[in-house]
Amino acid sequence: QHVDVQNFSGSWGSGLAFCALLHSFFPDAFDFAALEPKARRENFALAFATAEERAGCAPLLEVDDMVRLPVPDAKCVYTYVQELYRCLVAKGLVKTKKR
């Protein structure tokens, strides 16, 4: 709910896309249904803390940087999602094809 990812910029502006992604891997980490789209700072903080604690994802993005602009920088979001994917693969939570 409240998440429609169409790109790597505006779709990630409320922090809910990060939360939804992490909640899909760690459903016991937090109550996604209780999150509010307007609580951007809290959403980003929750997502980044969960990614670091549960997936071992390096804190590549700062909450302050994400809330400073209404639309996050696409390259920053893409880089973070790549790092999260790498961490999830390393933990065995994402299956990849063997070549």
Asked if residue 65 is part of any domain, the answer here is: yes
Distance CA 46, CA 69 (A): 18
Residue 97, domain member (yes or no): no
Q: What is the pLDDT of residue 89?
A: 95
Model confidence pLDDT, tens digit, residues 11-28 = 999 999 999 999 999 999
Mean pLDDT value of segment 73-93: 96
Q: How far is CA 11 from CA 22, 55, 59, 69, 98, in A?
A: 15, 22, 20, 13, 31
Residue 54 included in any domain? yes
Residue 77: HSE in the Cβ half-sphere, 13 Å Cα cutoff: 22
- Reported as half-sphere exposure (CB side, CA atoms, 13 A), residue 32 has a value of 19
**What kind and span of H or E run contains 48?**
helix 40-50
**96 falls within a domain:** no
Could you read off the pLDDT of 44-78 as tens digits, one per residue?
999 999 999 999 999 999 999 999 988 999 999 99
Number of folded domains in the chain?
A: 1
Domain membership of residue 32 as a residue range = 10-91
**CATH code of residue 45:** 1.10.418.10
